[in-house]
Amino acid sequence: MHIRRLLLLAIFCGAVLLAGCGRDLAREGVPDDVAAPPPDAVRTASGLASTVLQPGTGTRHPRPNSRVLVHYTGWTTDGREFDSSVARGEPIAFGLNEVIPGWTEGVQMMVEAERRRFWIPEHLAYKGAPGAPAGMLVFDIELIRIEM
């Protein structure tokens, strides 16, 4: 009986220690600034904010109807990842006139090989559409190639 109590106490203490010192797996890979753009973020008149994570090597910028190849990850401001071409291991190609307005505006600011983080206000995102993530969204986008 005494050994059983000691074993239960050891299991309880181990669980408390693991809970207190372990990694926060729910937030692993989530940017530290996902809740709001930092003070040094570039802001446009529309409310789009961005920071360059990796400068590009290209000189051309896509146009509003350009077709581009990108890798991206998207989060809500509470850190929930809702979509990622990176996680799927496959970049995606699309026309900039086929996506949310925040992407159309933001990706035009980029050059090839650039990685940039965008904070896209709801009015430039899904505008409260049913089934879509709501509120401001955060995207890390890598512009791999401008196809046309």
Residues with a catalytic annotation lie at 72, 82-83, 100, 126, 139
**Closest Cα partner for 119 from 84, 74, 55, 62?**
74
Beta-ladder partners of 37: none
By DSSP bridging, strand 92-95 and strand 67-76 are antiparallel
Question: How far is Cα 13 from Cα 20, in angstroms, rounded to an integer?
Answer: 11
Structure-token match 């990694």, residue found: 23
**Closest Cα partner for 46 from 99, 135, 119?**
119
Structure-token match 């990796």, residue found: 54
